[in-house]
Structure 1
Amino acid sequence: MQPSTRSTRGDGGRKELIVSVYVDDLIVTSACTEDINSFKHEMAARFRISDLGTLSYYLDIEVRQGKEELMLGQSAYASKLLERSGKAECKPCVTPMEERLKLTKASTVAKVDATLYRSIVSGLRYLVHMRPDITFVVGYVSRFMKDPREDHWAIVKRLLRYVKGTVDHGIIFLKDRQE
């Protein structure tokens, strides 16, 4: 999701208002609440809009805003992915992949359901947005999407077990303290 508009607003001050657009949904953010309210007022004068208030959920991304931090996560999405893969009740593990593991595209072990493999790995690729801790492994298992084998699927299953144990992980941004 790319910011679609970036403008300086106000009376010559350097106040930024960022508007992100996805189809017919907008996210409006700024350090200045008055600028946000002014923008909403201008939009309401031209279009019929609904103000849903403070952002809490958007495109399967959960937003939790505290006084000192902002947390972005995908625990609900991760749980749905675990259910879809049949791993909702699996035993969690503490690392996403074994050390020094070597896989190859020329594997001769049994083939697995390529459609299921691609679906689960694609779901993990979306989860990477808020989970940098799984980025390497997801990239690694993505190499085998064309012809997935049992040894490739074993790594995906281990990664899902790791996700099960870390389902509430996400990205935390500390807010600047204005003193």
Structure 2
Amino acid sequence: MVARFQMRDLSVLSYYLGIEVRQGKEALMLGQSAYASKLLEWSSMTECKPCVTPMKERLKLMKDSTAAKVDATLYWSIVGGLRYLVHIRPDIAFVVGYVSRFMEDLREDHWAAVKRLLRYVKGTVNQVIVFPKTDESGLQLTVFSDVDMSGNINGRWSTSGVLVFLGSAPISWLLLK
């Protein structure tokens, strides 16, 4: 028996795997406001006070912290949700990677860093990434890099990151109300 599949046009893409898609004449916009709101709801932080930065400046968390232990299941599920949110929110990628390092032995100070990140997400829940539509005049390569030499206090290793964009125009961020 041969299975037959028929492909249909279901109209303009507006939502796919938790990513909201808005297509206009000038730009393509991707966001995850509904998913971010659901993540805040799961973590019981829908009524929290928003903050303007995802992490405290010069925050140094340790694996062998002496703070009280926290519920691992909640921490794992929230950090996993934040990892999915990074697809459209590269502004939180570093912090999500940082709090992911402490999954083995979770402490109150690690959870406080996650809650701070959730407060930042609350304040930027409507942020979208914008891909402007332009003429076919050519591609532009844009590269950003950063390094933290021996910034990890647990093992004294360095952390680095690179962000590469290839497109006809630079990508921009918008905070839509």
Match of 1:55?
A: 13
Q: Residue 104 in 1 paired to residue 62 in 2?
A: yes
Q: Mark the runs of 5 or more structure 1 residues left unpaired by the alignment.
A: 1-45
- Alignment partner for residue 71 of structure 1, among 29, 44, 48? 29
SS of the residue aligned with 1:129? Answer: coil
Structural RMSD (CA): 1.3
What are the equivalent positions in structure 2 for 1:2-81 lying under 5 Å apart?
47-81=5-39
Match of 1:170?
A: 128
Query: C-alpha separation between the residues in 2 aligned to 1:146 and 1:171?
Result: 33
Rg: which structure is higher?
A: 1
- Alignment partner for residue 136 of structure 1, among 91, 94, 109? 94
Query: C-alpha separation between the residues in 1 aligned to 2:108 and 2:41?
Result: 20
Query: C-alpha separation between the residues in 1 aligned to 2:128 and 2:70?
Result: 31
* Deviations 1:27-48, CA, capped at 9 Å, x for gaps: xxxxxxxxxxxxxxxxxxx732
Per mean C-alpha deviation after superposition, the further-off stretch among 56-65 and 167-176 is: 167-176
% of aligned pairs identical? 77
Match of 1:113?
A: 71
Instruction: Name the amino acid aligned to 1:50.
Output: R
When normalised by structure 1's length, the TM-score is 0.72
Instruction: Name the amino acid aligned to 2:127.
Output: H
Q: What is the count of residue pairs matched by the alignment?
A: 134
Q: Mark the runs of 5 or more structure 2 residues left unpaired by the alignment.
A: 138-177
SS of the residue aligned with 1:97? Answer: coil
Match of 2:116?
A: 158
Instruction: Name the amino acid aligned to 1:86.
Output: S
When normalised by structure 2's length, the TM-score is 0.73
User: Which runs of at least 4 in structure 1 moved beyond 4 Å after TM superposition?
Assistant: none
Instruction: Name the amino acid aligned to 2:51.
Output: C
Q: Give the superposition deviation at 1:52.
A: 1.1
